[in-house]
Amino acid sequence: MAAGLRAGVGADGLNPDRFFDPDPSIRRVARALYEDTRGLPIVSPHGHVDPRILADNEPFPEPASLIVQPDHYILRLLYANGVPLESLLQGDPRRVWQLFAGRYYLFRGTPTGAWFDYELHEVFGVREQLSSETAAHIYDEIVEKLAAPEFRPRVLFERFNIEVLATTDAATDRLEHHCAIRESGWKGRVIPTFRPDALFRISSPEWPAALDGLGRVRDYVGFVRALVERRKYFKQLGATATDHGVLEPYTALLPEEEAERLFQRARRGDATPDDERRFTAHLLMEMARASLADGLVMQIHAGALRNHNQAVFERFGPDKGGDIPVATEFTRNLRPLLNASCFLRWTNRRTAASSRRSRATTPRCASAPRGGSTIRWKGCGGFASRQPKRPRSTRLRGSTTTRALSAPFRRGTTSRGAWRPIISAVWWRAT
């Protein structure tokens, strides 16, 4: 496999069939499919590009700080093979690059190696294999190209045919770089993604600072209301999704008084890891309910045990190669969320301004002002819609998953299909 991935790297370029099946009949179909899709624009729904890069549009730095030091996959493999992290994170850039190049053979057959081969060849036009002997020459070649106008971030964005790029942003982020991009007049579409992880980790020493970023929040109801307001702000700047990084996708509904008790324990600094697990499970339910209301797709990023190497974390901080994937179970963990009756029943209320035409349902939280539809928690562990008396024709009837999923999604209708079930808006990725 490694030989196949690396075949053709060098003067003759990359092997165009390096990712295809060796069977000629299968490879023929793969080539045809690839040719039909290779020219399509990139739609990137999840990533960790810093929006400051595209807001400032300044030249990229030299290759060590651009390629090696920010990549925790590179750091992990080098560290695992005896390279001290001090040498990679604190050394002279040329020395860091030399260490990377001298051990580049370690990346054979890995996704990182396959990607970097492509990057060197297709983006930078390098026609030599990276090694200890070629490191200095390739370093200088990349430095020269990074200084050219055609390697500015926005030019590369357009060169790569990116239609939309979603970043990952803390729930309390001011999103000033997204604002700067929008105000610059540049046509590239860069949108934020709402990631409230720091606000869910109530047993973490960093939680009080994260909470302060929401403003004056004194109780659980105010906490949820603040999260909903932040989601609105993200959506105003183009957000289409949320992202929730959890160790396990455990969901469970707590009584309101229990959620309040856990929140106050956290404010006092007394929350335990078990408290955090239960609080997070409940908040995932809250975020699913909010997604039903505002339409943001809910992404659950489960299965990564962060900062497993405590010594590395304490000395160098997060994202330095200390994350390890763990076995993750979704079926039982997500069952409470997917069976919540709020996802199967909803209603809408016509207003005076829209009495002559149909309008889509707009569910609201229990703490929301009167008017429009409201959704409250149901004591048995699901959601329930609070429905005013009205003609039966304006209600979505039926309480089974089959009926809910069979309702067509038609924007502007007043009954069936006014809102798609959240089931279709929840997806998950295992790391």
pLDDT digit string, tens, across residues 154-197 = 999 999 999 999 999 999 999 999 999 999 999 999 999 999 99
Q: Convert the pLDDT of each residue in 252-304 to its tens digit.
A: 999 999 999 999 999 999 999 999 999 999 999 999 999 999 999 999 999 98
The partner residues of 430 in beta bridges, in order of sequence, read: 302
Distance (Å, rounded) from C-alpha 308 to C-alpha 314?
A: 11
CATH number for the domain spanning 320: value is 3.20.20.140
d(CA 149, CA 106): 33
Q: Whole domain around residue 375: which residue ranges?
A: 342-430
Whether residue 226 is found in the same domain as residue 270: yes
pLDDT digits (tens, 9 = 90+) for 357-394: 333 333 333 333 333 333 333 333 333 333 333 333 33
Kindly write down the DSSP assignment for every residue of 174-222, as one continuous string: --HHHHHHHHTT----EE--EE-HHHH-TTSTTHHHHHHTT-S--SHHH
The answer to whether residue 140 scores a pLDDT higher than 80 is yes
- pLDDT category at 33 given cuts 50, 70, 90 is very high
Are residues 332 and 347 both part of a single domain? no
pLDDT exceeds cutoff 60 at 200:
yes
Q: Are residues 326 and 403 in the same domain?
A: no
Question: Does residue 350 belong to any structural domain of this protein?
Answer: yes
Q: Are 300 and 242 in contact (CB under 8 A)?
A: no
Distance from C-alpha of 413 to C-alpha of 418, rounded to nearest angstrom: 5
300 shares its domain with 325: yes
Residues in the chain, how many?
431
Residue-level pLDDT at 412: 31
Same domain assignment for residues 171 and 309: yes
Residue 342 has a pLDDT of 53
Q: Which two tokens stand for residue 250?
A: 């455990």
**307, pLDDT greater than 80:** yes
pLDDT score of 131 more than 90: yes
Q: Can you count the helices (H) and strands (E) in the chain?
A: 19, 12
3-state secondary structure labels for all residues of 370-399: CCCCEEEECCCCCEEEECCCCCHHHECCCC
Q: Could you tell me which residues are beta bridge partners of residue 347?
A: 395
> Is residue 13 in a domain?
no
Q: How many domains does the chain have?
A: 3
pTM: predicted TM-score of the whole model, two decimal places: 0.77
Angle (CA) 138-14-131 rounded to 5° is 30
